[in-house]
């Protein structure tokens, strides 16, 4: 039994720290905003020029002028502020954003990420992903473990065009949580979703990885 998307977002939200400035990518990462732990205050930033993003609006209360970088309607907060896109990317490139949570189509065992295009398919553009993986202090990828065709998404080397090389700090999928001690270090499987076995993860993962201390101890028992 794998984690649902909501459960994946809840697990990612456990990586938030009080006072963090956070950028959330489109797709599953947007669900992190609804799962911020109690007692934790974070400020959400959007590349299109907004700091302090509120929750999604109720149906019928949408303001078409209030959208995030993924074109979703959002709400503002009492402390929300607006600025130019160039200022927004200045925050990102200047290292002022603590954490970004991004979706991906592929992540390699070296920490590379491919999340912006599939060759031959029409795309809207690069967006802010390349700047985010280069300028944000910590990068977490939140994605389903396998593609719709059953192929591995955690792979030895990305086949799709890269967004960034050696930039991913943590990978959370519907099967488990992988992290690495530093860029250049191998990924370690730290947690498995309830009901998921190590054999299942190995079967669905093309990348090489190590076991974290707790799982290594359990496998030796």
- Any idea which residues carry the catalytic annotation? 47
Q: C-alpha distances in angstroms, 154 versus 56, 171, 179, 213?
A: 31, 9, 13, 21
Whole-angstrom distance, CA of residue 203 vs CA of residue 151: 11
Residue 131 φ/ψ, nearest 5 degrees: -70, -40
Give ∠ CA 134-34-106 in degrees, rounded to 5: 40
Coil vs helix vs strand at 131: helix
Pairing of strands 50-53, 76-82: antiparallel
Alpha-carbon dihedral angle through residues 47, 49, 54, 56, given to the nearest 10 degrees = -60
Q: How far apart are the first and last CA of the chain?
A: 23
């Amino acid at each position: 039994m794998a984690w649902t998307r909501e459960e994946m977002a809840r697990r990612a939200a456990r990586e938030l720290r009080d006072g963090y400035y956070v950028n959330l990518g489109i797709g599953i990462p947007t669900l992190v905003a609804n799962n911020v732990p109690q007692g934790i205050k974070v400020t959400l930033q959007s590349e299109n020029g907004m700091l302090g993003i509120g929750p999604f609006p109720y149906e019928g209360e949408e303001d078409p002028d209030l959208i995030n970088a993924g074109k979703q309607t959002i709400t503002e907060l009492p402390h929300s502020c607006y600025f130019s896109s160039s200022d927004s990317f200045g925050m990102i490139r200047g290292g002022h954003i603590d954490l970004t949570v991004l979706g991906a189509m592929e992540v390699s065992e070296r920490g590379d990420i491919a999340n912006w295009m599939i060759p031959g398919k029409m795309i809207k553009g690069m967006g802010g992903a390349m700047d985010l993986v280069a300028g944000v202090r910590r990068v977490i990828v939140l994605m389903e473990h396998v593609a719709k065709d059953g192929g591995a998404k955690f792979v030895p080397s990305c086949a799709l065009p890269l967004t960034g090389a050696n930039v991913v700090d943590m990978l959370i999928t519907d099967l488990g949580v992988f992290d690495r001690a530093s860029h250049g270090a191998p990924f370690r499987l730290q947690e498995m979703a309830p009901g998921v076995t190590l054999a299942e993860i190995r079967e669905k993962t093309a990348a090489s990885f190590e076991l974290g201390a707790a799982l290594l101890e359990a496998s030796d028992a």
